[in-house]
Amino acid sequence: MVKNYDVIIIGAGGAGLRAAVEIPKEYSCAVLSKVFPPRSHTGTAQGGVCAALGNMEDDNWENHAFDTVKGSDYLGDQDAIETMCKDAIRAVIELEHMGLPFSRNEDGKIAQRKFGGHTKPADPNDPYGKRIPVMRACYSADRTGHVMLQTLYENCIKNKVDFYSEFFVTDLIVEDNVCKGVAAFDIATGEVTVFHAKAVMLATGGYGRVFRITSNAHVGTGDGTALVYRNGLPLEDMEFFQFHPTGLWRLGILVSEAARGEGGILKNKDGERFMQRYAPTVMDLAPRDMVSRAIISEIREGRGIKGSDGTDYVLLDVSHLGKKVIDEKLPEITGFARTYLGVEPTKEPIPIQPTAHYAMGGIPANVNCEVLADEKGNTVKGLYAAGECACVSVHGGNRLGTNSLLDIVVFGRRGGKAIGEFLKTAEHAEIKSKPEEKTKEKIKSVLNNTGTEKVYKLRTELQEWMMEKCGIFRNETDLKAMVDKLGELKERYKSISIEDKGTVFNTDLMEALELENLLANAEATVYGALNRKESRGAHTREDFPKRDDDNGMKHSFIFENGGSPEIKLKPVTITKYKPMERKY
Amino acid sequence: MDITVRILRYNPEKDDKPYFREYGLKDVSPDWRLLDVLHEIKWKQDGTLTFRRSCAHGICGSDGMKVNGKNRLACSVLLKDLNLKKPVVIEPLPAMPIIKDLVVDMSGFFSKYEVIKPYLITKTPPPPNSERLQSNEDAEKLFESAKCILCGCCTTSCPSTWSNENYIGPAAFLKAYRFAFDTRDEAGDERLDIIDNPDGVWRCHTIFNCIETCPKEINITWHISQLKKRISSREM
């Protein structure tokens, strides 16, 4: 079956929904998602969305841009960062106008709180001198992502957006550098449809499920990044994967930085506030890459606490904040601690350990969300990407907390606008290949495979190995071992067999297809990590512990290249922020 | 620890009607989520077992199902909170057509949600370059209703839903409250008229099943009572 639309958006998280709201009414638009829109992973974001509104204290967007550049360890493209931070103020006010129920300050304006890496100059006359934490994160208790997702979904319903929920995209149709649509199957019936479109936006989120301990939902399998990579198009900066410092021990469930923004502190087994040794000025509110490395260093030096599962953790203490603050501002995360670990956060500290959280890298895109075909800046006609699956690059080597919710609304809207412009002259390009047959063939080959390998087993091995060999600390020996392991896993993937052979809601089949996507994402990550011989942002090489600005101020563009990945480089865009040593 | 679970299975491509199948699991931990048990079965015993899930910590609302007779999220139930001396009985959410095993057709649920106009309706344009003002007290009045994750546990636990498929149901009412009591909303009668009818709030007989079952512990009946009060006061 073929359906024609002007634009198809893949993914119904914040970026996809915000783009959908922006598509002009005269164009037909459909949003495809493998889950119902309100199930999307945006909903699990907790702490806030940053904008220099200055509602609590003086602040300006240049402060926000400086912090984002520094937080990115100077790998973010500074023109894109300026675009985002300047637009943040309008974007957050727009969310309020759309109905988002923000927490409020005493004046009835949007309330703001402190967050890791967000600072301003201690002396306004010395903009590059000592910096102090600033209240910049706009929030709704600790459910900011949840209410943002709900608000955007509600606005889509108001605008009568066409949804195809529970559709799994199997193929991105790009011919002669023109994107012509996607192929997908309806999960409930197994029926394959080709969505023939003039423009396609990928807003498919991250791929945290390549790691064993992750805050990411089970659906976070990097489907969009894998589709692009397998099409011979590049992925950018995939070696930069953020580990959030405070995942709930054993489970990896996110415990928002808001806990520290409100005054929570990290302690080692001796009860010491160890962050004062790693980041003397901002301490617990240092950026995530630094706090995660500090936690692992404490554990390696014997100051962690051994858990019953054999892994080590440290403690996040919010008990001194009092029951009122905890109940009003951190209800959700303290609820997780109670439910899953039986810990009462008003009385005792919460066991935490770093958890794989966010892909800074992804599908290379410019500030108008047009997908890049190469490191020279050429674009793929009709293909757009926004949100975590994209790399603009506003997060560079390390994303600051709250900048993901900002990214999705700023670039979701920009992508929607750019598509609206593009559609004024775009036409349906004829599809020369046979995508419907290709997808049917792909599904049939998984269903009919009678090999001995099991999907869950390969996936678990991948996740454990990635955690061990390509996690917070990396080195050449481990990464080379991971390359070999990936080769082995890809080979074994050819011999998988699944038990469910049906067409109705076949989640066995979906897990198999998702594993293929995870393997593609892992490959790009590992080869990128092996190739980057420096330590920058979230990418830490034990064998190259220093940042190398002479060679490292470049984005990696990785191409699948028929199974032997090839990496090309693109210089970072610098406007006015010269790389400095990154101290907090 | 060893446990037994009984799961209602139904594959429309093979089965005439749903049936129970038992699975035994050895060496499980009391700290496991029920979702971990379902995964253990799917990944190691029976790949055909079908259920929805995503975030696995009670935010996305995917894995609502009936556990020992009560609607719950599989990811928010720990084994130690269940009676494990008897088999744990798992069924799909009631009052919705089964697609396969624990997966139900939620299109009816979402269409009722859409009926109540689940979005802010305003007539006065907002200030061009700043937010509308709202006191924190007024904002916080919305937070409990805004917690709703649309899992469907409440609506499908309600006897009024079971007896009348047109009943709009508690989840949609909660969303109606979320907007009707937002100081920024100007829908007025437009939204209240939708729920002021025989399939609307008046079919809520304060049975409290919704409160009992809500995984986010929202006092849904209280919110419905506020809507009833507001409708009554406009009629007087």
CATH number at residue A522: 1.20.58.100
Looking at beta carbons, which residues of chain B come within 8 Å of A456? 42-44
* B118 and B211 together in one domain: yes
Q: Which phi and psi (to 5°) does residue B73 adopt?
A: -95, 130
Are A505 and B132 inside 8 Å of each other by CB?
no
Q: Is A322 helix (H, G, I), strand (E, B) or coil?
A: coil
Cβ neighbours of A576 (radius 10 Å): 10
Q: How far apart are CA A71 and CA A78, in angstroms?
A: 12
Disruptive mutation site among A248, A250, A507, A511 for chain B (greatest number of B CBs within 10 Å):
A507
| CATH number of the domain within which A326 lies | 3.90.700.10
User: How confident is the model at residue B236, as a pLDDT?
Assistant: 62
Number of structural domains in chain A: 2
Mean pLDDT across chain A, nearest whole number? 97
User: How confident is the model at residue A128, as a pLDDT?
Assistant: 81
Yes or no: say if A251 and A356 are a contact pair by the CB < 8 Å rule.
Answer: no
Report ipTM (2 d.p.). Answer: 0.98
- Asked, for residue A383, whether it belongs to a domain, the answer is no
- Asked, for residue A87, whether it belongs to a domain, the answer is no
Looking at beta carbons, which residues of chain B come within 8 Å of A98? 120
User: How confident is the model at residue B234, as a pLDDT?
Assistant: 86
Among A314, A342, A358, the domain boundary falls at A358
Q: Is A29 helix (H, G, I), strand (E, B) or coil?
A: strand
Number of structural domains in chain B: 2
Give the domain extent around A284: 241-358
Yes or no: say if A377 and A387 are a contact pair by the CB < 8 Å rule.
Answer: no
Give the domain extent around B45: 3-104
Predicted TM-score of the model (pTM): 0.97
**Is it the case that residue A127 has pLDDT exceeding 90?**
no
* B123 and B23 together in one domain: no
Q: Which residues pair with B212 in a beta bridge?
A: none
- Asked, for residue A446, whether it belongs to a domain, the answer is yes
Q: Which helix (H) or strand (E) holds A175?
A: strand A167-175
> Is the previous residue joined to A393 through a cis bond, with omega within 30 degrees of 0?
yes
Q: How far apart are CA A48 and CA A332, in angstroms?
A: 13
The alpha carbon of residue B166 and the mean position of all alpha carbons in its chain are separated, in whole angstroms, by 17
* A444 and A354 together in one domain: no
* B100 and B148 together in one domain: no
**Within chain B, which residues score under 70 in pLDDT?**
235-236
User: How confident is the model at residue A233, as a pLDDT?
Assistant: 98
**Count of CA atoms in the C-beta half-sphere (13 A) of A51:** 27
Task: Give the length of chain A.
Answer: 584
Among B75, B104, B133, the domain boundary falls at B104
Q: How far apart are CA A504 and CA B48, in angstroms?
A: 11
* B82 and B27 together in one domain: yes
Q: How far apart are CA A420 and CA A399, in angstroms?
A: 29
Q: What is the mean pLDDT of residues A268-273?
A: 97
A–B interface: beta-carbon pairs under 8 A = 157
Among B104, B119, B154, the domain boundary falls at B104
Among B56, B82, B104, the domain boundary falls at B104
- Asked, for residue A42, whether it belongs to a domain, the answer is no
Q: How far apart are CA B14 and CA B55, in angstroms?
A: 30
**Count of CA atoms in the C-beta half-sphere (13 A) of A97:** 15
User: How confident is the model at residue A498, as a pLDDT?
Assistant: 98
User: How confident is the model at residue A463, as a pLDDT?
Assistant: 98
Catalytic site positions of A: 288
- Asked, for residue A85, whether it belongs to a domain, the answer is no
- Residue A393: closest CA among A553, A228, A541, A582: A553
Please tell me which of the candidates A96, A101, A505 has its beta carbon nearest to residue B100.
Answer: A505
Residue with tokens 């493998």: A34
Tokens at A250, concatenated: 């054993």
Q: What is the mean pLDDT of residues A298-313?
A: 95
- Asked, for residue A501, whether it belongs to a domain, the answer is yes
Are B119 and A154 inside 8 Å of each other by CB?
yes
| CATH number of the domain within which B61 lies | 3.10.20.30
* B113 and B228 together in one domain: yes
Q: Which residues pair with A132 in a beta bridge?
A: A120
Q: Which residues pair with A32 in a beta bridge?
A: A10, A164
- Residue A396: closest CA among A528, A554, A568, A202: A554
- Asked, for residue A535, whether it belongs to a domain, the answer is yes
* B60 and B112 together in one domain: no
- Asked, for residue A113, whether it belongs to a domain, the answer is no
pLDDT digits (tens, 9 = 90+) for A203-254: 999 999 999 999 999 999 999 999 999 999 999 999 999 999 999 999 999 9
Yes or no: say if A316 and A333 are a contact pair by the CB < 8 Å rule.
Answer: no
* Cα separation values, A103 from A93, A426, A538, Å: 13, 43, 31
In which band, very low, low, confident or very high, does the pLDDT at A187 lie, cut at 50, 70 and 90? very high
Tokens at B35, concatenated: 């979702």
